[in-house]
């Protein structure tokens, strides 16, 4: 520096010498290697960030409300929706009639449904499983939603009138079968009575004995020629 004081120049040279003593001089090859390592580390960091980007902000969800088929009001969830996929809110649930739970046997007998109507016809009717209240050893029973069973019955039979007609025919058929069984039992009973009377009459008869036989000394016997009864007696 042209205008610098001699003392200031001397101090600057001492500081440069001290800095050179603290950090050793690096060759051009070493500096190039350090730069390559730095660039490689930077590239690896950028690759990791690209592979794991920051998660996008979650979208704002809008609830899709259900509409109750009875009252027409919106609702989020209900017992019938959870278990039977039936859009009725809990306030409108009629456990005594419309939404009553009925057994599989009742569904088949009262609404004339077959196993295939319950298990294979689409959509397959949903049910819940509960222990038998009458006897736990009888196993579990399937309970169906009455309104869904009625709907399936109308799909099978076409109309309420056709269902009632089929039920009447089945009822008449059962009555005829019961009458036939009753008549058969009456005939069997009469036949059994006549048979027992015949046996009783056959067992009661007047013995017809053959000639008497002397057994020993004063002892004699004679035998019925019809039933084989032996009569033993003594003569004095």
- pLDDT of 54 reads 53
Measure the CA dihedral 37/40/45/47, to 10°: -170
Which of 85-99, 121-135, 168-182 tops mean pLDDT?
85-99
In a domain, 143, yes or no: yes
* Model confidence at 205: pLDDT above 90: no
Cα 187 versus chain centre, distance:
47
pLDDT at 27 over 60: yes
| Per-chain mean pLDDT for the chain | 80
My answer on whether 161 and 211 are in the same domain is: no
pLDDT tier at 219, thresholds 50, 70, 90: confident
Is the same domain home to 166 and 211?
no
Domain assignment of residue 197, yes or no: no
Q: Do the domain assignments include residue 102?
A: yes
Domain shared by 159 and 212, yes or no: no
The answer to whether position 87 is within a domain reads no
The total number of structural domains in the chain stands at: 2
Q: Are residues 117 and 162 in the same domain?
A: yes
Report the C-alpha dihedral over residues 10, 11, 17, 20, rounded to 10 degrees. -140
pTM of structure: 0.51
Q: What CA–CA distance (Å, rounded) separates 190 from 198? A: 12
C-beta separation of 219 from 232 below 8 A: yes
11 belongs to a structural domain: no
Residue-range definition of the domain harbouring residue 221:
206-236
Q: Which residues pair with 232 in a beta bridge?
A: 221
More confident residue, 235 or 106: 106
Provide the 10 A C-beta neighbour count for residue 78: 19
Clarify whether residues 154 and 210 are in a common domain: no
Domain contains 1: no
Per the omega criterion (within 30 degrees of 0), is the bond before 123 cis?
yes
Is pLDDT of 206 > 80? Answer: no
* Residue 26 domain-assigned (yes or no): no
pLDDT in tens, 62-72: 567 899 999 99
Residue-wise pLDDT for 6-16, tens only, equals 444 455 455 44
| pLDDT > 70: percent of the chain | 78
CATH of the domain at 134: 3.90.530.10
pLDDT digits (tens, 9 = 90+) for 68-122: 999 999 999 999 999 999 999 999 999 999 999 999 999 999 999 999 999 999 9
Residues 135/124, Cβ–Cβ less than 8 Å: no
Q: Is residue 218 part of a domain?
A: yes
């Amino acid at each position: 520096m042209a205008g610098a004081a001699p003392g200031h120049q001397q101090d600057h040279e001492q500081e440069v010498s001290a800095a050179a003593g603290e950090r050793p001089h690096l060759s051009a090859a070493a500096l190039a290697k350090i730069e390559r390592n730095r660039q490689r580390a930077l590239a690896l960091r950028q690759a990791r960030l690209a592979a794991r980007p920051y998660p996008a902000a979650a979208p704002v969800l809008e609830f899709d409300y259900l509409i109750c088929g009875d009252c027409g009001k919106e609702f989020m969830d209900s017992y019938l929706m959870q278990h039977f996929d039936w859009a009725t809110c809990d306030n409108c649930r009629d456990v005594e009639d419309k939404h009553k739970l009925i057994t599989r046997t009742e569904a088949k007998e009262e609404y004339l449904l077959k196993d295939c109507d319950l298990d294979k016809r689409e959509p397959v009717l949903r049910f819940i499983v509960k222990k038998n209240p009458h006897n736990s050893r009888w196993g579990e029973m399937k309970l169906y939603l009455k309104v869904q069973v009625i709907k399936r019955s109308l799909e099978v039979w076409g109309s309420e009138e056709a269902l009632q007609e089929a039920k009447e025919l089945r009822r008449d058929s059962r009555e005829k079968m019961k009458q036939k069984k009753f008549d058969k039992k009456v005939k069997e009973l009469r036949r059994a009575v006549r048979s027992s009377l015949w046996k009783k009459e056959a067992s009661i008869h007047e013995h017809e004995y053959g000639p008497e036989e002397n057994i020993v000394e004063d002892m004699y016997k004679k035998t019925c020629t019809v039933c084989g009864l032996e009569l033993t007696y003594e003569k004095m």
